[in-house]
Amino acid sequence: MAEIKKNLGHQKSAAAETGGIKKAGQESGKAAETTRLEKTGQESGKNRADEIDELMRFLQPGREVGLAILRALEELPEKYVVLMVANRKKYPVLAEQLIKYFVGKKTEGIFITTNKPAVDLVEGLRKEKVDLGKVSLIDTVSKRSGDEEADAHNIIYIESPENLTELDSAVNDCIEKVQGKNRFFVLDSMSTLLVYNSERTVEKFMHSLSGKARAKQFKTVFTLASETRQETLNILSQFCDKVIEI
Amino acid sequence: MPDPERTKTGVPGLDDILYGGIPRNNLVVISGDPGSGKTCLCLEFLYYGAVKYGEAGVYVSLEESEGEIIGFAELFGWDVKGLIEQKLLSIVTVELYDFDKLKNTIEDEIARLQAKRLVIDPGVVFRLYFDRELDARKRILSLGRMLKRIGCTAVITNEISLEKASSLFGLEEYVADGVILLYHTKLEDRFIRSIGILKMRGTKISERLHPIRITKDGIKILSKQELFEEVK
């Protein structure tokens, strides 16, 4: 992070002759009015900070999504079931940011990944020093795609996202294992399940899972791509307390 | 309804969906698609009957040899040879298409072992014993009545995907106390196994289809697991 900021500082020096920063420099050249100078200096600093933030958001889209998740979920009561809808720009970082949020909240739980191999998620998050020791991962990607399967105690591999019975069975096993009071359950994503299964089957599956998650008092998030048909979204949202757009 | 005396199958999950087991001395037809696990389920019924409950059983094979059946059981780690030596299991293979001889052999073998369990697999071969359908019907129904008389919990297998054998000459409708259906269904690009109890006289049964797993230890019925795939 420090390195990114340092690099950004260089970029900003180089860019100081253009745009808003150039304007701020021109204004500071008018040395006659001290008060105005001070004011301009403050504005210039503020603008610079805003610009850095904006650039960081640009360079780290995950951070923006992470903040949005934080804002949305912190407002909710202690236990909830939500449908989190994200567009295609934000979708790629949603999984990691959700895990980081829940791990950061010291919760233990279950994460179903239907898009990214569990090994990739684990490796990526390990680099960011996110400890997944208390997260049970269910991976429906790797077996089908022939990707590497880690011999890890906390990863369960399912043949395909269409094996909903097997997936449900794995969830049941994991629910028994997650013992803490503060627990989470994430299914990323309903959109992938809709690719492999009929809408009716996915609805039935989500209804069953949300019921279980409620009964066991999990903080529960189902993710969905915003490009999903409105009618499907309406049906899936019936099983949730709230629809959150990220 | 008072709870009947039961024969626990010992097959993981099956007794759950039968609310404790097959009512004792019931005659049950297990109908299933090819590859659905009929033979495995039958062998497991006899194996666990002997190992868990000390009840002797007779396996009447109308198709496979004794060696083939022993070899099949060994795939799941079931020491069938040991059970045969302990007189807890007998494998009877009948080659001659003499129905009366078959009936006598079954009766004798059950008496010799004082068996409480019987399996006849596959029942569809009965059709080869008779030239006329009416004869088949009469004689098979008489076999069913005999099995009920001799005090054994009996299981006969049948294929459900062979058009003409969808009913085992009326056995399911008229004589059998129970019918268990095993499905091996083709979905879009895969197969799924499931089980359902069509009927079982004398006991409450699960009304749902349940998923099945064939593991290295044998058949396992996921009795508490919901089946999400649509089996038609």
Span of A129-138, A172-181, B171-180, B195-204 with lowest mean pLDDT: B171-180
Whether A134 and A46 share a structural domain:
no
CB contact under 8 A, B192 and A168: no
Instruction: Please answer whether residues A47 and A22 qualify as being in contact, where contact means their C-beta atoms are separated by less than 8 angstroms.
Output: no
Q: What pLDDT does B96 receive?
A: 67
Distance from CA of A155 to the nearest CA of B (A): 20
pLDDT per residue, tens digit, chain A (246 aa), is 444 344 434 443 333 333 333 333 344 444 444 444 455 556 666 677 777 666 555 556 678 888 899 989 998 999 999 999 999 888 889 999 999 999 998 899 999 999 999 999 998 888 888 888 899 999 999 987 777 677 777 999 999 999 999 999 999 999 999 988 899 999 999 999 999 999 999 999 999 999 999 999 999 999 999 999 999 999 999 999 999 998
> Cα(B60)–Cα(B47) distance, rounded to whole angstroms?
14
Whether A24 and A75 share a structural domain:
no
Q: C-alpha distances in angstroms, B115 versus B3, B55, B59, B152? A: 23, 7, 10, 7
Closest to B226 (Cβ–Cβ): which among A168, A197, A198?
A168
Whether A37 and A70 share a structural domain:
no
Whether A47 and A124 share a structural domain:
no
CB contact under 8 A, B225 and A208: no
Q: Spell out where chain A has E strands.
A: 80-86, 108-113, 135-139, 155-157, 183-188, 219-225, 242-245
- Please tell me whether the peptide bond between A189 and the residue prior to it is cis, using omega within 30 degrees of 0: yes
CB contact under 8 A, A205 and B228: yes
CB contact under 8 A, B226 and A201: no
Q: Could you say which of A59, A82, A107 is where a domain stops?
A: A59
pLDDT in tens, B53-106: 999 999 999 989 999 999 999 999 999 999 999 999 999 998 767 888 888 999
Interface A–B counts its CB contacts (< 8 A) at 33
Number of domains in chain A: 2
The ipTM (two decimal places) reads 0.74
Query: What is the domain extent for residue A12?
Result: 2-59
Whether A55 and A85 share a structural domain:
no
* CATH number of the domain bearing residue A98: 3.40.50.300
Q: Which of B31, B35, B88 is nearest to B59 (CA)?
A: B88
- Inform me whether the C-beta atom of residue B163 falls under 8 Å from chain A C-beta atoms: no
Whether A43 and A134 share a structural domain:
no
Whether B8 has a pLDDT exceeding 90, the answer reads: yes
Closest to B228 (Cβ–Cβ): which among A160, A165, A172?
A165
Q: C-alpha distances in angstroms, B82 versus A27, A92, B51, B60? A: 98, 58, 11, 18
3-state SS track over chain B: CCCCCEECCCCCCHHHHCCCCEECCCEEEEEECCCCCHHHHHHHHHHHHHHHHCCCEEEEECCCCHHHHHHHHHCCCCCHHHHHHCCCEEEEECCCCCHHHHHHHHHHHHHHHCCCEEEEECHHHHHHHCCCHHHHHHHHHHHHHHHHHCCCEEEEEEECCCHHHCCCCCHHHHHCCEEEEEEEEECCCCEEEEEEEEEECCCCCCCCCEEEEEECCEEEECCCCCCCCCCC
Whether A35 and A149 share a structural domain:
no
Q: Which of B98, B94, B101 is nearest to B120 (CA)?
A: B94
Q: What pLDDT does A143 receive?
A: 86
Whether A185 and A146 share a structural domain:
yes
Q: State the DSSP string of A132-168.
A: -TTEEEEESSHHHHT------TTEEE-S-TT-HHHHH
Mean pLDDT taken over chain B: 90
- Set of chain B residues whose Cβ sits within 8 Å of the Cβ of A163: 190
Which of A165, A194, A200 to probe by mutation at the B interface, max B CB count within 10 Å? A165
- Set of chain A residues whose Cβ sits within 8 Å of the Cβ of B225: 165, 168-169, 172
Which of A166, A197, A204, A206 to probe by mutation at the B interface, max B CB count within 10 Å? A166
- Set of chain A residues whose Cβ sits within 8 Å of the Cβ of B190: 159-160, 162-163
A96 φ/ψ angles, rounded to the nearest 5 degrees: -60, -45
* Domains (range + CATH), chain B: 6-221 (3.40.50.300)
- Inform me whether the C-beta atom of residue B230 falls under 8 Å from chain A C-beta atoms: yes
CB contact under 8 A, B227 and A165: yes
- Inform me whether the C-beta atom of residue B186 falls under 8 Å from chain A C-beta atoms: no
Whether B167 has a pLDDT exceeding 90, the answer reads: no
Whether A109 and A67 share a structural domain:
yes
**Which stretch of DSSP H or E encloses residue A8?**
helix A2-14
Whether A45 and A72 share a structural domain:
no
- Please tell me whether the peptide bond between A117 and the residue prior to it is cis, using omega within 30 degrees of 0: no
Q: Could you say which of A35, A59, A83 is where a domain stops?
A: A59
Distance from CA of B190 to the nearest CA of A (A): 10
Distance from CA of A169 to the nearest CA of B (A): 7
Sign for the pseudo-dihedral over CA of A67, A68, A69, A73: positive
Closest to A164 (Cβ–Cβ): which among B188, B222, B228?
B228
Whether A223 and A134 share a structural domain:
yes
Whether A133 and A234 share a structural domain:
yes
CB contact under 8 A, B190 and A162: yes
